[in-house]
A and B are shown apart, each in its own frame.
Chain A
Amino acid sequence: MASTTFEPGKKTNRIGLEVQPYRGGKTTLCAGCGHNAISERIIDAFFEMGIDPRSVIKLSGIGCSSKSPAYFLGASHGFNAVHGRMPSVGTGAVLANRKLLAIGVSGDGDTGAIGIGQFVHLMRRNLPIVYIIEDNGCYGLTKGQFSPTADVGSTLKTGVANDLPPIDTCTLAIQLGASFVARSFSGDKKQLLAILKASLGHRGTCMIDVVSPCVTFNDHEGSTKSYSYVKDHEEPLGEISFVPFFEDISIEYDPGTTKEVRLHDGSTLYLKKVADEYDPTDKLAALRLLHETSRRGEVATGMLYVEPDRDDFITLLDLVEEPLATLPLERVRPGKAVLDEVMESLK
């Protein structure tokens, strides 16, 4: 299932690696599961960006989505934590070693229900992490119960309709302080790959909600997270092109119709505007768009909001450049004079 768009053993990326170390174990998710497509895009993005998998950590909570980090980046350390609490584990890991690139994979239940508290505070801190919600609107692993992102009126396979309003994770993330917020669809290879690659160049919390139909429990008529519903109701904000810092390509868009966003690492995100003048650096515009499309029963996809200059959590904590985890003893154990000074103050 975890096949990729690359021929194994042939092509190498800019750091000379073949695609193999970017792959993971064989997926145990259902055939056709949107999550598998997302794993494939993650493999593509990391390979194409030439990121050393040994400097990446993969984190997840519990659920179908949270199993998926085992299916990509096999050469990276991974941590499958407890349900809904991956953000805290990711926070600790990134604080311990700021040089690591963290990618967290969660689900709509793992994030929107049991994990909403930790999600909220992760967004507030703007921790450097790529946080992906594989959003299918239901609990797959426990056989299809509604999750908090299920739309009002959407039905389960059994015909039961959801009558509670959904949590829009993108709206929440923007309000709470995430500096990179996007929504995509597991079936949209091109858009999802561009967003993922851009997220790897951003420093801060990248919250990416990927609608990912559950082929077993939530891909029927009546579900608003099915392939057919999303295909019919998707409203892409415009074409996204991403140019990594190491590629020097002039972009072919007419300047009047594109919006350029320069990311932390020097990469550039080009957004080809659609009819309305959508500006992804305008927080209010992003919130308005999300509200209006949702009222129309549409799913806005693309780069919703980006704030490239916002300080991330590491900057706020003013940490030393080196990983805290490997600081030598003399930098973490004050000398005897310090202890003597403290003792003297207590006499």
Chain B
Amino acid sequence: MSPSEISGRADGGPPAANRIVNDFSIQVATVNGSGSQTANLVLLRSIFQMGVPVSGKNMFPSNIAGLPTWYTVRANRQGFVGRKKEIDFLVAMNPETAREDVMSLGSGAAVLYDQPLKLNTLRADVVFYPVPFDKLVAEVCKDAKLRRLVKNMIYDGVLSKLLNIELGQMERALRKQLGKKVKAIELNLGALEAGFAFAEKNLVKRDPYWIDRTDKTTGMILVEGNAAAALGCMMAGVTVVAWYPITPSSSLPETLIGYLEKYRKDKETGKATFAVVQAEDEIAAIGIVIGAGWTGARAMTSTAGPGISLMSEFAGLAYYAEVPGVVFDIQRVGPSTGLPTRTSQGDMLQVALLSHGDTKQIMLIPSSVQECYSMAMAAFDLAERFQTLVFVLSDLDLAMNTWMSTTFPYPDRPPDRGKVLDESTLQRLGGWGRYKDVDGDGIPYRTIPGDRMPAYFARGSGHNERGQYSERPDDYVNNMERLARKFETARRYVPKPEVQDASGADIAMIGYGSSHWAIEESLDQLEREFGIKSGYLRLRAYPFDGQLGEFIDRYDRVYVVEQNRDAQMLALMRLELSPERIGKLRSVRHFNGLPIDARSVTDEILVQEGRKSRDSVDAGVVSPALAAGGE
């Protein structure tokens, strides 16, 4: 369908038959620091308020101001909210990237652009809507200094008209976004209405994209993974938080601080029931967590790959001295500094085996904002149950982007504080050794400084089951075997994988974390477009559950989908699966820094299944400007 063939109707909308309703993506290309965030969130939220499933993804540079930024809103009536590779509607506000952004669009896309950029001459197969932003903003904003900030609301107004997004919902979203800032609301509302009025008077709708009110988001929330995790930490009863600023982790502790200040001051005294320390580095942050965990507090830190690397020595101490603590790893692209503002699942292998010597770490892997919340709580329980660090492996896409969710349930049970020795247990056991396995599950009883129970000397050096320094070969082996046993016990306690079998299917996928959304949509694409049915197992934790191997047994070929170069989760599976099972595993990897998308997964599986040639798969995953790196 050529967009030029779509004739406008009296109501400004395309004929119903030609409409693409509630299923398209909008990309706003702006300059970092130009204040477009409010406008973008208003756009996202207003569609959400109309009952249409949405997601919002920010692709931003590692920079304060001046470099290109892209914000993508995807509306999808089926609820597929992973990244969509193709852009349907471009809002071109950035002169630097406008041409490349336009050239990378598929045929039939639409472009709303700043009139002086004269983009309409670039292509004939795309619909163009010029908008004189500077002229419009000058009319509604007398103060020249503020124009830059409200200018972006004008494109929201234009989009409201062009895409049938109710202006009233935009206004509601704007008021929610700006809270009590009366003057800002007034200015932005003026801009919003000016954009709408301009579109109504001057633009003829010639693209098929359309939002219709529906009821798919009733009662739902919009939230970022880091905020959800922060809420989970507060509900888990965290008392000591130590952190060091790093993208994309910082918003987790920062949001948490906000919640704690608001909800965790003692009602009578106004004093804090929590301690937050912005540490001198990530090493100190994890040290503080370990000191607090040893002393019986629920303690956490949050970081990203570079911080994890720094924490590795302490992670070994916590493993060996058996000290609880929670560490969020909000993964970004490595190695080294890598791409600090882009997403990845590149820390899986490193965290699973973090630190020197024989170490194994428990990892929880949330796929959704709700799991960021619930796994935050589970992480504290598991850390105290197993007296070790528990790592929550989130990523930038999940953590910093805006996701829909049902509301989070209030925790229905008290925290599990694990095996802490008390007087009656001591009586029952008739004696105590800090590292003695009395229950056969590898988990010893611990005492806590100040609890008046027998003391012990925690150490990272060799020790026997009474916690005394020892270099004896048998003491060392016994202790290490017990630690391995403890890790085996953890298999039964960590969140189980989510299994979705497909009867009669030859193939299956295994995925985890934020890849889930692309996989879920790819399953639909494979079946609907190619008649290929596929099973799906979503891993939610390491160590793996026994279901993993059994799942692999039921299929001929199993694709492990992940966002890293080296198929890290597949490598972890190789460490423990039988050769027969390992032989069935294939790898689908996506590691360009952008969130994985369904089409890339589908295409890669089709190629490996021999249903498509590699040449036929579109290699243009990224817009050329984005590919150029923005610097």
Contacts and interface: CB of A to CB of B under 8 A. Distances in A.
B511 to A, nearest CB: 26
B296 A89 contact: no
A92 B240 contact: yes
B376 to A, nearest CB: 13
B410 A96 contact: no
B449 A77 contact: yes
A121 B449 contact: no
Given A69-B457, A317-B275, A96 B222 contact: no
B459 interface: yes
Contact of A100 (B219, B236, B242, B295): B295
Interface string B273-298: 11111011101111111111111111
B288 A89 contact: yes
A201 B369 CA distance: 49
Given A96-B292, A324-B273, A85 B297 contact: no
Contacts of A96: 239-240, 291-297, 299
Interface string A230-252: 00000000000000000000000
Interface of B: 219-223, 231, 234-240, 242, 259, 263-264, 266, 269, 271-277, 279-281, 283-299, 313-314, 317, 321, 407-408, 410-411, 414-415, 447-450, 452, 455-461, 469
B452 A54 contact: yes
Contact of A320 (B231, B269, B411): B269
Contacts of B263: 334, 338
Nearest to A55: B450
A320 B264 CA distance: 11
Given A95-B240, A95-B275, A346-B222, A70 B231 contact: no
B407 to A, nearest CB: 4
Contacts of B277: 91, 95
Contact of B450 (A82, A323, A332): A323
A82 B317 contact: yes
A317 B272 contact: yes
A87 B283 CA distance: 11
Contacts of A118: 280, 283-284, 287
A76 B284 contact: no
Contact of A54 (B220, B222, B264, B455): B455
Nearest to B317: A82
Contact of A91 (B266, B291, B408, B458): B291
Interface in A233-277: none
A11 interface: no
A248 to B, nearest CB: 30
Nearest to A333: B237
Interface string A90-113: 111111110110000000000000
Contacts of B313: 82
B239 A93 contact: no
A85 B299 contact: no
Contact of A90 (B273, B289, B291, B410): B291
26 contacts: A53-B455, A57-B449, A78-B457, A79-B291, A81-B460, A88-B290, A91-B288, A92-B242, A92-B291, A92-B292, A95-B297, A97-B450, A117-B281, A318-B272, A320-B266, A324-B274, A324-B275, A325-B239, A326-B296, A327-B239, A329-B415, A331-B266, A331-B273, A334-B263, A346-B222, A347-B221
A91 B269 CA distance: 24
Given A334-B234, A334-B263, A347-B219, A81 B449 contact: no
Contacts of B235: 333-334, 339
B448 to A, nearest CB: 7
A161 interface: no
Contacts of B321: 79
B42 to A, nearest CB: 15
A146 B274 CA distance: 42
Nearest to B299: A92
Nearest to A24: B457
A70 B288 contact: no
A323 B274 CA distance: 10
A78 B455 contact: yes
Given A88-B286, A96-B294, A323-B296, 4 more contacts: A55-B450, A96-B291, A97-B295, A332-B273
Contacts of A58: 457
A325 B292 contact: yes
Contacts of B275: 95, 317, 319, 324
A10 to B, nearest CB: 24
Interface string A44-69: 00000000011101110000000001
Nearest to B241: A95
Nearest to A322: B273
Contact of B221 (A79, A331, A334, A346): A346
A334 B263 CA distance: 7
Contacts of A338: 263
Contacts of A100: 295, 449-450
A260 B237 CA distance: 45
B169 to A, nearest CB: 13
Given A319-B272, A334-B234, A347 B410 contact: no
A56 to B, nearest CB: 8
Contacts of A333: 234-237, 411, 415
B221 A343 contact: yes
Contact of B295 (A88, A325, A331): A325
A336 interface: yes
A169 interface: no
A77 B289 contact: no
A59 to B, nearest CB: 8
A319 B313 CA distance: 30
Nearest to B219: A347
A55 B263 CA distance: 31
Contacts of A319: 271-272, 275
B284 A88 contact: yes
